[in-house]
Structure 1
Amino acid sequence: MTVITHVSLTPGREPEWDAAMRDRLETARDQEGWLGNQLVIPLDAPNERTVIGTWTTRAAWEAWHSDEAFLETRERMEGLQDGPSEMTWYEVVSEDRA
C-alpha cells in the first residue's frame, strides 16, 4: 500500500517541518511493515510538501501512528502547516526500482 500526503506549510516554517518529518521518516524504518518513503517538494511551490510512504499494509502504517517517536514529531509539527493535510491511499500494482 502506498499513501500520498500533501501538505502546505506556513511560510518561513519549512525548515522546522522538514527536520521533524525527516526524524519521523527515519523512525519509520524500524517499524514492521515499512517498505520505503520519500519527502518531495514541488519545484513551483516551495512551501508545499508531498510525503510518499509505502507499507505492506494500511494496518502497519496505522500501528506506526501510536509509536512514541511518531507522536513526538506530531507535537513538533503542530502549527507549522498552513491548513490540513490531504491524504490518498493507493494499492501498488507494480513497482520497479534500480
Structure 2
Amino acid sequence: SHAQALVGMLEEHPSLMARVQAAVRSGGRRWNLRMDNGIDVRLPETDAFAAWDRLAKYEAQHKLLTRDIGSIDLRLPDRVVVKVRPENGERNPEEGRQT
C-alpha cells in the first residue's frame, strides 16, 4: 500500500521520521508531510525516496527544520524550494537617521 511504502521511506532517516506529525496523500499521487514545527514538506510524485534523502542531507548541512520557514518543496529533482512563513515575508523598514 502507499502508506506502507511511505513508512518504509520515512524509516530510512529515523531522526526526521520522529519529527513527522502527519502525512497527507495529495491528489492520490504524492505525499505532503507536516513536521512537528509546522513546516510542510512536499514530496514528489516519483522518486520520493531520493527527495527524502535530499531533505536529510539538507537538514544535516543547513538545519532547515530549525529555521522559521513555512514549507520545503522537494518536487523538483534539481532544487529545493523554501518558502518563508507569510508573516515573515514582509520586511520592516529601518528607521532613517538624520544626518
Same fold flag (TM > 0.5): no
Which has the higher Rg, Structure 1 or Structure 2? 2
Q: Which has the higher contact order (CA 8 A, sep 6+)?
A: 1
